Chains A and B, each alone.
Chain A
């Protein structure tokens, strides 16, 4: 009877070499406070200078999310006291974000849904507090790293939709190469706003803001927990409080954040240390031209080769994979692309996964792969051999034909050679041969297996079956 209304706020660290307003390095994992200067430490008299690369990357994300890029953008100060915030204000964007009014399409089970993007804006990250038993320490290496905030409209109605939105968004961000999107490193963070309302009504209910979710799975679970909690309270006629709640991963529940924050008043006002930035049409066009084909477009292209939505979805998860697959399909000589599809999603993807890299990073060229595949298609090698040869190709970087020739892996379809082996097998397995003759069909497969064993998998199973049947009639 209740419908969930969910909006997501995603924070993304942009992969710039230097920080948003100074030239300090953004490299992750360095000794605490080793990548700081007077600007990102907020020393008296220091002034910010905008990193134009950060602005360009931010606009790129806005455009890729179908936002209208704003021709004017400015920065504002968000004022609040916290020891990880060196100036006790954050340079952020308030009323003139650099992009707004976009959308993102997500795939649901059998249809898709459009989720609005309210705004995309650029701000600086804060430092990191490290709590010890008797004191707290601050590491300012992170302070000043450019952070993109992507705010969705409250168009999301279930934890599954939220999960799919995040998955799709992450895919796009990875395609754009603007961030490493690593949630463990904190490069990508997500907060959620959720309220419930009676189905069919328009008015919004009292919302909770959920924080401290460290994976997409956690977001889905926290939202699920919150729907149950809120609907139980509403059903019992209890009043909900508008509050910030933290997700406890271990307990699998949310709990209210203990703060003394009365309604936070951030006292936003225009950052007087930075001018208004004009982004002209040429600039926007230039940034637009750097946006690659995005996952949905890549899926569409792959589907043109006859792939199912499921198959194209798998291959389009990462830009490099999709590009690699596209090149393979382009040069694959057969009309029926199924064997290639199966090989990509099967052996090749599992090689990549087990090595923790992209398909394109295995050191196999599309040409090399197609060479291997044509040997398979022409019946010259078996599936088993193809898989083994692939591993060998990855290890040795040698072409398929060479590996197969050298190891004498070519499939044995030569009847004369097979006849001899089969003769031996029948001789050694008289009982099975008799079983088959007496009508036990299953015995045939055992005999085929014995032949395969003797040939180290090189025999053509179809040919073996044919010859076996002939000989067993005798």
Chain B
């Protein structure tokens, strides 16, 4: 049996019956990675297997390997954000999520998944270590920035994986790769050990083959962390209890602003069909309005770049990572700073650092950053208002299915618009999820996004599970031939 093609909950059942072992699972995963990852490039720094074969403790995920995005710290295991500037960085500590997963018996997979450098991007093309390919069409991108995690899960190179989502970086690649991805409520999952992109927007979340696996991962990683001052001290429910195939009477809003210009007609009709399916299952779907939607992208690119410019200032060649120009150089400190950062950061990272530095500059702060904070509040209030009368909101995850490699690299604005539907959830801090909802004529997966009020992840799980139980999409996996074909 190809254990790598199964979900975590299927594997846990098999292991209970003594029909699978963690060694056998790892073997199947490595076999598949050896077979196809030269094409998919979901992982970076492939090398001798560093995954422990025995769980550190018994627990709900005992013996199941979890793949980590390259920006989540794992003790002693290279974590480089797919950036040259962090080359060789081995964190001396575990992220809280890694610690929790170890305690739950999960195996931290020994190689990390590919990503856009520092999570700056929507296609994983901004990785210093080369682009990941979409398993459904190797000419296309897997989305980003957690493209490596999404592609690995879709291509059965991972059982499930962790990603990070600052503006859609879990949901958009999940949508492009036909898998399930969740961005939890801001504060639900500890950010300790997540190398920050934009601290007020970042969340770690699961990428999985089905909704139940996402719930299993959330059960372990969610919860208050006194070492993350932005994490929230409220109890964590058992999310698997929300996996109920029943959405009768659930009130679902469809924001009209998400179904207008810019959306691919084919994606639009697939999403509309899915909404009909939700209606069929008894949900009460009605049009709602989120009037400040059009400001989400500009507001996001002000706040996110401002925070990023400061968060990335520490990469200066002094303590860790790359250092250029200190030996025999006559330029001194400034020269070392400049050369290290010039050679260490990629183009998109530089673009965002410069943008962020600009919007925080004296004389511009009020016009950009301060105003963006105000509009961010308005966007949040839009959601609050809708959630007064609705349980959740449904939208497309991205305006298009996976696009071709190189298609948007030269046009950052076009690339930024790929996240137009996912960004608002980060600005509002609300939980959001993408689930597979069909395929285009070209055979590319399309994602359906569900959003709910803060800490209502259970509503998302219930709606997503009900939809999944009544549709075939999550069972369809891409076929990738090995060899030179």
Contact = CB atoms under 8 A, between A and B. Distances in A.
Interface string A223-252: 000000000000000000000000000000
B313 A87 contact: yes
Nearest to B357: A267
Nearest to B370: A269
Contacts of A45: 72-73, 79, 91, 93, 95, 192-196
A273 B230 contact: yes
> Range of interface residues on chain B?
35 or more
B194 A49 contact: no
A338 B320 CA distance: 67
A277 to B, nearest CB: 10
A225 B198 CA distance: 48
Interface in B63-103: 72-73, 79, 81, 86, 89, 91-93, 95
A474 interface: no
B362 interface: yes
A43 to B, nearest CB: 7
Interface in A246-302: 260, 263, 265, 267-269, 272-275
Of the listed residues A47, A48, A83, the one surrounded by the most CB atoms of chain B closer than 10 A to its CB is A47
Of the listed residues B95, B196, B313, the one surrounded by the most CB atoms of chain A closer than 10 A to its CB is B313
B380 interface: no
Nearest to B337: A81
A274 B230 CA distance: 6
B111 to A, nearest CB: 19
Interface of B: 72-73, 79, 81, 86, 89, 91-93, 95, 191-196, 198-200, 226-230, 306-307, 309-310, 313-316, 318-320, 333-334, 337, 357, 360-362, 365, 369
Interface in A42-101: 42-50, 77, 79, 81, 83, 86-89
B314 A86 contact: yes
Interface of A: 38, 41-50, 77, 79, 81, 83, 86-89, 136, 138, 260, 263, 265, 267-269, 272-275
Given A44-B86, A269-B306, 17 more contacts: A43-B92, A43-B93, A43-B319, A44-B81, A44-B315, A45-B95, A45-B192, A45-B195, A47-B191, A47-B228, A47-B230, A49-B227, A79-B310, A83-B316, A87-B314, A272-B199, A273-B196
23 contacts: A38-B91, A41-B319, A43-B319, A44-B314, A45-B72, A45-B73, A45-B79, A45-B93, A45-B192, A45-B194, A47-B230, A81-B313, A81-B316, A86-B318, A87-B313, A87-B314, A263-B362, A265-B362, A267-B357, A267-B365, A269-B310, A269-B369, A272-B199
Nearest to A50: B229
| Complex A-B, nearest 10 residue pairs according to Cβ-Cβ distance, in ascending order | A88-B313, A272-B199, A267-B360, A272-B200, A44-B195, A45-B193, A45-B73, A265-B362, A87-B314, A45-B195
The prevalent SS among residues of B at the interface is loop
Contact of A86 (B192, B310, B319, B357): B319
B365 A269 contact: yes
A137 to B, nearest CB: 11
B361 A265 contact: yes
Nearest to A267: B360
Contacts of A274: 229-230
B310 A83 contact: no
A141 to B, nearest CB: 15
B12 to A, nearest CB: 29
A272 B309 CA distance: 13
B95 A275 contact: no
Contact of A47 (B79, B92, B192, B334): B192
Contacts of B334: 260
Given A48-B229, A267-B357, A272-B200, A38 B92 contact: yes
Contacts of A46: 192
Of the listed residues A38, A42, A43, A44, the one surrounded by the most CB atoms of chain B closer than 10 A to its CB is A44
A441 to B, nearest CB: 80
A42 B196 CA distance: 12
Nearest to A87: B314
B289 to A, nearest CB: 29
A272 B86 CA distance: 23
Contacts of A87: 313-314
Contacts of B229: 47-50, 273-275
Contacts of B227: 47, 49
Contacts of A44: 73, 79, 81, 86, 89, 91, 195-196, 314-315, 320
B304 to A, nearest CB: 11
B477 to A, nearest CB: 33
Contacts of A272: 198-200, 230, 307
Contacts of A269: 306-307, 310, 360, 365, 369
Contact of B226 (A49, A81, A275): A49
A187 to B, nearest CB: 26
B318 A83 contact: yes
Given A38-B93, A41-B319, A45-B95, A273 B194 contact: no
B226 A273 contact: no
A263 B228 CA distance: 35
A354 to B, nearest CB: 48
Of the listed residues B73, B229, B337, B369, the one surrounded by the most CB atoms of chain A closer than 10 A to its CB is B229
B440 to A, nearest CB: 38
A139 B369 CA distance: 35
A48 B192 CA distance: 9
A267 B93 contact: no
